[in-house]
Amino acid sequence: MALRKVIALCITIACLHDHVALCTEIYEDSNQPVELRVQDLLSRMTLDEKIGQMTQIERYVANFDVMKNFSIGSVLSSGGSTPNSSTTEAWQNMVDDLQAGALATRLGIPMLYGIDAIHGHNNVYGATIFPHNIGLGCTRDPDLVRRVGAATALELRATGIPYTFAPCIAVCRDPRWGRCYESFSEDTSVVRMMTDVIYGLQGNGTPGIPFVSDRSKVAACAKHYVGDGGTQRGINSNDTILSYEDLFRIHVAPYVDAIAKGVSTIMLSYSSWNGVKMHMNHRLISTLLKQELGFKGFVISDMEGIDFITDIPDANYTASVLESINAGLDMIMVPFDYEKFISTLRTLVNTGYISMQRIDDAVTRILRVKFSMGLFEHPLADRSFSPHLGSQDNRMVAREAVRKSLVLLKNGKTESRPFLPLSKNATRVLVAGTHADDVGLQCGGWTISWQGSAGSITKGTTVLDAVKAAVFTTTQVIHEASPTAEVAAKTKADFAIVVVGEQPYAEGAGDNTNLTIPDEGISTIKNVCSEVKCLVILISGRPLVVEPYLPLMEAFVAAWLPGTEGNGVTDVIFGDYDFVGSLSRTWFKSADQLPMNFGDPIYDPLFRFAFGLGMGKLPR
């Protein structure tokens, strides 16, 4: 009450002049401290306006009237959710149209538009697609990931979007998990190092305070809190069974860094910790994250995350809303039935099951982020950023990221005769494999659509394109996607480049207990490498079983999911740059060994964690 009196006094003093009608409210004055603006605006809000700020809805159900009538605080594009035309102008117009509805509300609170830009602005055709995090972890280069974050922020701003659900700072402890490629490493120290991507996305601010430095930056979201990478048997959304000490040491530690670097928001995991769903875990959300770690931004649910608190989704929605909000959730990614959520939360507050103090804490955090990122001053798209989408500068950063993420695991069948680098002046080169000429397969999941897909789904350079550009004009490049041994032999190639790997996947669809190369890829390796000296390049979101086929290969490179810039691969295999990547994950011999991580008492990998060769053959 005392604070409200101070605010009222400030307003009175500010308005004691001849132009009372021109008086700007404290929350509208960018010269006022953020916390004062937050408290001023909060004091003016009704319960319905506060609940609206806590509600995030999908663009599919959003329009001007919905934004205005329900005071909606945030909108998202889920994977593959795009306007009819995927041009920068179409994105900008869509976001601005929805923002107009938010600005038309009584208090004019702008909405926050968010999207999963997890390896570049991956929902948008023509955007630069960077290597997925598993590859970036192999670079051990925090400055590089900072620049990747900065480039991603520019491309987000090109479409008028100021908020990304990234980075994923999970510590993947079992590659059977379908989201393992979203993790930088099995090793906590590597993941902690890579949280510098937050500086790239948001800029540098006051340590520990949510901050977006300017209009070229965006609000970030560290996810998925916490233990999502440690679930039993690598099953997505499963239970993580660990002591509190081990949970903190392995999985919480990267969040300490993210908070120190000013991350604006934190998203919860679908998973559980020792049987308790994260979306209802008061100890880990309110006590640890907010009180002990001092997180000042807002906590957001995953998509329909509160619905999955019950074993049967949405079995008791009222209880799910009650448990999640009282546990410390601030914003709910509803995302479709927003009227049900709003009415349920309103009833729970009016009947005393959820306190107004808890609501005010949530809205305070949401407003703090909105004020700190300048959303009130600049709510609409800045169309001068349009040229940054897929720009040459950003693609050069991606190309650098590709070449630094490659890990050379074998180079020559004998110690004295390395196979790489390849000659650009060969007479004939055979390029084979399903993944050699396919941008979609090169990018993997979370590219244009949620699960990703094969084909020319966006602009990019395939490995085949890059090979053709790298070799001399006198070199004949022969492409066969799935050649027989006879066809491979008839090419009389000086050497072959075989590019095979996984099909795209995302989240639970990628959970896999076998982790073998698809049969077509195995056949191609056998057919080609038995007839022509070959380099095998594996495109995958994790290590796969390769030991039986290694003797056939002259050289073997893990390229992970490199994205759109295939030239980064040829930069290295033809010797313009050396290999500098080292494994961010242990490479197992058999899936029967899993989970197996560096430091385990029983540790017998095919390639140890941090292994990687240079062109000179010796491990670094």
Contact assessment for residue 254 and residue 195, using Cβ atoms and an 8 Å cutoff: yes
Exposed/middle/buried for residue 562 (C-beta within 10 Å: 0-12, 13-18, 19+): buried
Per-residue pLDDT tens digits for 25-74: 999 999 999 999 999 999 999 999 999 999 999 999 999 999 999 999 99
Cα gap 445→448, rounded to integer Å: 9
Cα gap 113→32, rounded to integer Å: 25
14-23, 300-309, 508-517: least confidently modelled range: 14-23
- pLDDT for 13 equals 45
CATH class of 128-376: alpha beta
**In the predicted structure, residue 524 carries a pLDDT above the cut 60:** yes
Contact assessment for residue 50 and residue 363, using Cβ atoms and an 8 Å cutoff: yes
Report the helix count and the strand count for the chain, using DSSP H and E.
Answer: 21, 17
Exposed/middle/buried for residue 118 (C-beta within 10 Å: 0-12, 13-18, 19+): buried
Q: Is 373 left (phi over 0), alpha (psi -120 to 50) or beta?
A: alpha
Cα gap 159→528, rounded to integer Å: 44
Q: What are phi and psi of 331, to 5 degrees?
A: -130, 135
Cα gap 179→542, rounded to integer Å: 10
Q: What are phi and psi of 508, to 5 degrees?
A: -60, -25
Per-residue pLDDT tens digits for 157-170: 999 999 999 999 99
Q: What token pair was written down for 89?
A: 């102008």
CB neighbours of 514 closer than 8 A, spacing ≥ 6?
545, 591
Q: What are phi and psi of 450, to 5 degrees?
A: -60, -55
**In the predicted structure, residue 573 carries a pLDDT above the cut 80:** yes
**In the predicted structure, residue 8 carries a pLDDT above the cut 90:** no
Angle at 254 between CA 331 and CA 560, to 5 degrees: 100
Over residues 557-570, mean pLDDT: 99
Which of these is catalytic: 141, 507, 511, 554?
A: 507
Q: What token pair was written down for 92?
A: 């900008």
Domain extents in the chain: 128-376, 396-593
**In the predicted structure, residue 620 carries a pLDDT above the cut 80:** no
Cα gap 179→445, rounded to integer Å: 9
Exposed/middle/buried for residue 409 (C-beta within 10 Å: 0-12, 13-18, 19+): buried
Per-residue pLDDT tens digits for 181-201: 999 999 999 999 999 999 999
Q: Is 314 left (phi over 0), alpha (psi -120 to 50) or beta?
A: left
Q: What CATH topology corresponds to 396-593?
A: Rossmann fold (3.40.50)
Integer CA distances (angstroms), 413 to 222, 371, 410, 429, 431, in order: 43, 60, 8, 20, 20
Could you count the other beta carbons within 10 Å of the beta carbon of residue 24?
A: 13
Over residues 558-567, mean pLDDT: 99
Q: pLDDT exceeding 70 applies to what percent of the chain?
A: 95
Q: What are phi and psi of 240, to 5 degrees?
A: -100, 115
**In the predicted structure, residue 10 carries a pLDDT above the cut 90:** no
**In the predicted structure, residue 16 carries a pLDDT above the cut 50:** no
Q: What token pair was written down for 503?
A: 């099909």
Q: Is 507 part of the annotated catalytic residue set?
A: yes
Which of these is catalytic: 174, 302, 400, 438?
A: 302
State the amino acid at position 14 in one-letter form. Answer: A
Cα gap 532→529, rounded to integer Å: 5
Cα gap 278→272, rounded to integer Å: 5
First to last CA, the chain: 63
Predicted model pTM: 0.95
Find where tokens 């998973």 sit: 271
Q: pLDDT exceeding 90 applies to what percent of the chain?
A: 94
Calculate the average pLDDT of the chain. Answer: 96
Q: Is 35 part of the annotated catalytic residue set?
A: no
- pLDDT for 237 equals 98
Closest CA to 419 of 533, 526, 532: 533
Q: Where are the beta strands (DSSP E) in 131-227?
A: 163-164, 221-225
